[in-house]
Structures are given as structure tokens and as C-alpha cells.
Amino acid sequence: MNIWPLVVYILAVVGLAAMIIAISYLIGPRHMQRATGEPFESGVLTTGTARLRFSAKFYLVAIFFVIFDLEASFIFAWAVAVPELGWAGYIEVLVFIGVLVAALVYLWRLGALDWGPASRPSTGARK
């Protein structure tokens, strides 16, 4: 069995990695300040705590993104299988997209996608 190509490839990868590390060591900065070794904010002096409270809207938007991104992967898979599915598959994907649009409209009407400040209902009288 001829394994020379594999050996040459491994040596090339190890050599390239060693060369990149050596060059970064030679060219890199040589300063060591008080906060440089700290694992927070890349050497910038820390202010306060790293434990911040985020609004639940960040997590909601992340979940919505994951859900709708997953649905896009289903639609891509459908697009690949279009020739075999025919009109029945076309109608099924239209129903699927309709359900997605209905879910998006529901989330929009519910206010789950609003990022602005909460608006107060007007009392009718302005001063």
C-alpha cells in the first residue's frame, strides 16, 4: 500500500501550523499589562460584572430564527425532490408555507416581534 501521499500531507500540515505559530510569535506584540492576562474583554480593564440580564426577547428571536431556519431546510429538501413529487408535493408545500405564514402573522399580531419601546395607549387628551 502506498501511504506516501498521506505522510507528505501530514508533514505539510504540521509544518504549516508550526510556521504560522512561529511567525505569529516573532511578529506579535510583546507587551504585558495588568489586564492582558485576564480572560475578559481581550485585555481591556473590566468594569462591573460579566453577568448581565438580557431581555427574553433575545431568546425569543433566537428561537424564532431556529424554527423558521429549520423550516427552510424542509423547503430546500422539497425543492430537490420536486420531479418525483409532482402536483401533490406542490400542494403539500403550499399548505406547509401557508402554516408558516399563519404562524408568522400570529407572532406578529401577538407582539413577539416588536423591539421598540412599549407604546402606551393615548388617553385622548393632550396637554
DSSP letter assigned to residue 90: H
Distance between CA atoms of 26 and 22, rounded to whole angstroms? 6
For the segment 70-119, what is each residue's pLDDT rounded down to a tens digit?
888 888 888 888 889 889 989 999 999 999 889 889 988 888 777 766 66
- Alpha helices for the chain (secondary structure H): 4-27, 56-80, 82-110
38 band by pLDDT with thresholds 50, 70 and 90 = low
- Give CA–CA dist 97/46, Å, rounded: 48
Q: Bigger pLDDT: 39 or 70?
A: 70
pTM above 0.75, yes or no: no
> Which of the four pLDDT bands, split at 50, 70 and 90, describes residue 50?
low
Q: What are the domain boundaries of the chain? A: 56-110
Considering the chain, what is the average pLDDT of its residues? Answer: 81
